[in-house]
């Protein structure tokens, strides 16, 4: 089969592989930057793992930055189907949305870093004398560290986390009074191992502990370029009831209609040869009946994406399940009614 040259050696051994969509083409992402994502890009992430039998099994994720273009999203979806087919339809596919990544996806990285920018900034070291101020939040959740860039204003400081205020050659580490020692250590490691080398070692570092600071400390007024209220949290909108939708071309044209609402079981989908959208309220599953073509797989992804947009569910995740591989997703099985 014809496969993108970037995928020729994909999935041949255990481990993690990442590619980024650059100008609608697949480009390998350097291993030393694994865990670092830019909100203007889309990425493909392949996790290969050995089963008890010694064979390889796969989870295939495509991650969409909040500022990624529709063209990039289309390209990452098409290329994910291509890689899935190349790997013999073995992978379970997952659509990952920025700020709402699955626990599985986050578990791959010691630190998940989400930065502003896109392809042009992805490989660019910060060498300019004038650096756009940025505020980086370090947070630990379920034993994993996450770094995210937030709007550079004082209101976004939170007592439970550690923040790095990067003003170019002047760098500040602000330790919230409720932040853990590990969060403080991880932020300092990022300064020493990433920011400092990017600036040729020429930075000044100030460390601020919230517990020792006055509300009117001059640091707050001196260093933050933006004012205003704290950034609002991402809204998570879920459906109020489970529903099952069928995609079929049995009538000579592709149709999309609701099959049922309320209780949904596996027997509602099996042995049909069609594609289903299963809205489980907090997650969306695309179920591919046996014999689906690559076109039908892609149609399922596109329809699932349209369903999410039409129902205002932009932050929800999508997982693709193939008939015969249901047990690979415990989450899918848990959402089904017996």
Residue at token pair 């080398």: 197
Of residues 179 and 291, more confidently modeled:
179
**Same-domain status, 214 and 246:** no
Domain count, the chain: 3
Q: Is residue 234 part of a domain?
A: no
Residue 248 and residue 199 share a domain: no
Task: Give the global pTM.
Answer: 0.77
Domain end point (choices 77, 109, 141) = 109
Average pLDDT, the chain: 88
Q: Which residues is 144 bridged to in the sheet?
A: 141
Rounded to whole angstroms, the Cα distance separating 127 from 82 reads 38
229 found inside a domain: no
Tell me: do 271 and 218 sit in the same domain.
no
Last-in-domain residue among 223, 252, 276? 223
Distance CA 152, CA 156 (A): 7
In this prediction, residue 219 carries a pLDDT of 84
Tell me the pairing of strands 56-64 and 25-28: unpaired
Across residues 166-182, what is the average pLDDT? Answer: 93
Task: Write the pLDDT tens digit of every residue in 1-18.
Answer: 678 999 999 999 999 999
Report the pLDDT value the prediction gives residue 123, as an integer from 0 to 100: 45
The rounded distance, in Å, linking the Cα atoms of 148 and 331 is: 27
* Final residue in a domain of this structure, among 58, 81, 109: 109
Task: Provide the pLDDT for residue 287.
Answer: 95
Residue 247 has pLDDT above 60, yes or no: yes
Regarding whether 245 and 218 lie in a shared domain, the answer is: no
* 8-12, 22-26, 230-234, 288-292, range with greatest mean pLDDT: 8-12
Per-residue pLDDT tens digits for 266-314: 999 987 788 999 999 988 999 999 877 777 788 888 899 889 889 888 7
Same domain, 245 and 311: yes
Whether 103 and 192 map to the same domain: the answer is: no
* Strand 111-115 with 36-38, pairing: parallel
Q: Is residue 190 part of a domain?
A: yes
Question: Any idea what the CATH number is for the domain that residue 203 is in?
Answer: 3.40.20.10
Q: Is the C-alpha dihedral spanning 13, 320, 115, 118 positive or negative? A: positive
Give a yes or no: residue 228 inside a domain.
no
Task: List all residues 6 or more positions away from 59 whose beta carbon is below 8 Å from its beta carbon.
Answer: 46, 47, 49, 91, 92, 94, 104
Give 244 or 274, the one with higher predicted confidence.
244
Domain span including residue 156: 125-223
Which pLDDT value is given to residue 116?
A: 84
Residue 268 phi, psi dihedral angles, 5° rounding:
-70, -20
pLDDT in tens, 105-158: 999 998 888 888 886 654 444 444 456 788 999 998 877 788 888 888 899 999
- Give the separation between CA 84 and CA 61, rounded to whole angstroms: 10
* The CA-based dihedral angle spanning residues 49, 58, 37, 296, taken in that order and rounded to the nearest 10 degrees: 180
**Do 83 and 151 fall within a single domain?**
no
Q: With contact defined as beta carbons under 8 Å apart, do 34 and 28 qualify?
A: no
Please check whether residue 119 lies inside any domain of the structure: no
């Amino acid at each position: 089969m014809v496969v993108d040259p970037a995928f020729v050696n994909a999935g041949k051994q255990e481990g993690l592989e990442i590619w980024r969509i650059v100008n609608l083409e697949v480009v390998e992402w350097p291993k030393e930057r694994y865990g670092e994502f830019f909100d203007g890009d889309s990425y493909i992430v392949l996790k290969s793992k050995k089963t008890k039998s010694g064979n390889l099994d796969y989870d295939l994720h495509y991650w969409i930055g909040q500022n990624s273009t529709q063209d990039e999203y289309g390209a990452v979806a098409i290329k994910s189907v291509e890689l899935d087919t190349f790997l013999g339809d073995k992978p379970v596919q997952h659509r990952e949305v920025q700020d709402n990544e699955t626990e599985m996806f986050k578990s791959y990285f010691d630190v998940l870093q989400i930065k502003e920018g896109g392809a042009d900034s992805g490989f660019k070291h910060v060498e300019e004398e004038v650096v756009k101020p940025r505020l980086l939040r370090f947070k630990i959740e379920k034993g994993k560290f996450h770094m995210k860039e937030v709007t550079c204003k004082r209101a976004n400081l939170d007592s439970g986390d550690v923040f790095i205020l990067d003003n170019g050659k002047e760098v500040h580490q602000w330790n919230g009074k409720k932040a853990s020692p590990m969060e403080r250590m991880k932020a300092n490691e990022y300064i020493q191992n990433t920011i400092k080398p990017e600036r040729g070692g020429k930075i000044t570092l100030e460390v601020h502990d919230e517990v020792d600071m006055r509300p009117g400390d001059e640091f707050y007024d001196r260093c933050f370029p933006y004012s205003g209220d704290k950034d609002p949290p991402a809204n998570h909108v879920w459906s109020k009831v489970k529903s099952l939708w069928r995609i079929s071309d049995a009538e000579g044209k592709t149709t999309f209609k609701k099959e049922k609402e309320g209780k949904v079981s596996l027997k509602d989908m099996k042995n049909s040869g069609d594609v289903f959208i299963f809205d489980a309220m907090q997650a969306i599953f695309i179920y591919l009946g046996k014999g689906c073509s690559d076109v039908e797989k892609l149609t399922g992804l596109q329809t699932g994406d349209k369903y999410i947009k039409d129902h205002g569910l932009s932050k929800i995740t999508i997982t693709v399940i193939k008939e015969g591989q249901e047990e690979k997703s415990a989450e899918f099985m848990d959402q089904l009614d017996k």
